[in-house]
Structure 1
Amino acid sequence: MMKRSFDFCVAVGALLLLSPLLLIVAILVRTKLGSPMLFRQLRPGRNGAAFAMLKFRSMTDTRDASGALLPDAERLTSFGKFLRSSSLDELPGLWNIVRGDMSLVGPRPLLMEYLPLYSAEQARRHDVRPGLTGWAQINGRNALQWEQKFALDCWYVDNQSLWLDMKILALTVLKVVRRADISADGEATMPRFTGTPSLPD
């Protein structure tokens, strides 16, 4: 209950304080990338329940001759890269926190299609609300391998506390300022997760 109250108060305060910045970014997204300004996608929340995650749009809708969307790396413009590297694209997620879909700190919400691919241990990352930032984000972010990221997520589930959340938030600010670990080598963000190979008996 203390964590939820902390999340709610900080998110509401941040939305009020950052409202001019949100408006400016929204106008720039509309001008440079078109409509809609917001990217909405179903993501798994606590216990795997789906919710509509909000972000500022950072990619175009450019398609190939057959009508299929081009790969992310080809649709990610220089402006979109700036939004991601500065984490400005994540600001609408504050509304998800106000609604109770997310927390300030927790495992990042990934894709719904990954749910059946997790091992029983990896699936424990959904024992808590997903976060705007998390333990994995300050310990490598997208430069990590999937298995490393999931191990860090589960460590957070087992060790979460208000003091740890405040530490993670402070270190997140430093990561954003330094624009560190934005993407994996050769990827726009991260390669797709296809499951962890089983160890031989």
Structure 2
Amino acid sequence: MREPARVTDVVQRAIDVVVAGGVLVATAPVMAGVAVLVAARLGRPVLFRQQRPGRHGRPFTLVKFRTMRDVDEERGLISDADRMTGLGRALRATSLDELPTFWNVLRGEMSLVGPRPLLMHYLDLYTPEQARRHLVRPGVTGLAQVSGRNLLSWEDRLALDTWYVDHRSLGLNARICARTVLVLLRRVGVAAPGSVTMPQFTGSPRPGTEVGGA
């Protein structure tokens, strides 16, 4: 019998603290090396900080390593594709850019497993069903990340997020973490076709809304 969601959340929080603290200590030399590379190749600041919606949509500051150059209209560095670097692609493919995010986990703003924290302006675009993804803490990894990552359509990705909210358990979290290791080793789904990451979410068709031309 699956444990109640409340029990899962309490136990998972304890696991989050232990694992996040351990990862931050164990990977400190790696993060120092990445920081030096980012500073040398991309300049400062080394860290990328951005407001993202957390549990119940409350904003928090997500922390990652920078993977892109600054916007520079004179040099034509405007789109994500223009600003992405070889170092940035390597960091994203290996998820080394995510290591500082474990600080968000330690602070209780994120969990090891949960729907990925997306952009603040997406909050107004979700259907009521999709918005339920914010009933739990966002995760470093999640069901959508091990089920196709950025190769999934937005509708499939958000549907997996809400399915996770309804079916989360310690066993499911453990399986997602194990599958995450395989995804990282295979380096699949890092970017959607024609994009360096994932196209912007513009909203899903609402019930009764026609799609397409005449």
TM-score range, shorter chain: over 0.9
Q: How many residues of Structure 1 are paired with residues of Structure 2 in the alignment?
A: 200
1:2-151 matches, within 5 Å, as: 2-65=11-74, 70-151=78-159
State, as a whole percentage, how many aligned pairs show the same letter: 54
Give every structure 1 segment of 4 or more consecutive aligned residues whose post-TM-superposition deviation is greater than 6 Å: none
Q: Distance in 2 between matches of 1:102 and 1:77?
A: 27
Contact 2:76 2:82 in 1 (8 A): no
Q: Please give the secondary structure, in 2, of the residue aligned with 1:91.
A: helix
TM-score (norm. length: structure 2): 0.91
Q: 1:185 aligns with which of 177, 181, 193?
A: 193
Deviation at 1:162?
Answer: 1.1
Q: How well do the aligned residues superpose, as a CA RMSD in angstroms?
A: 1.3
Residue aligned with 2:51, SS: strand
In structure 2, C-alpha distance between the alignment counterparts of 1:18 and 1:83, rounded to whole Å: 14
Residue equivalent to 1:199: 207
What's the CA shift for 1:68? 8.7
Equivalents in 2 of 1:63, 1:17: separation in Å?
Answer: 36
Distance in 2 separating the partners of 1:198 and 1:152: 18
Structure 2: runs of 5 or more not aligned:
1-9, 210-214
The structural deviation recorded for 1:199 is 3.4
* 1:7-27 CA-partner distances (Å, limit 9, x unpaired): 110000111111111111111
- Between the aligned partners of 1:137 and 1:126, the Cα distance in structure 2 is 16
Q: Name 2:7's counterpart in structure 1.
A: none
- Report the residue type matching 1:31 in the other structure: A
- Alpha-carbon displacement from aligned partner over 1:157-181 (angstroms, at most 9, x marks no partner): 0111111111111110110011011
Deviation at residue 69 of structure 1 after TM alignment: 5.6
- Name the TM-score, length of structure 1 as normaliser: 0.97
The 3-state SS of whatever aligns with 2:73 is coil
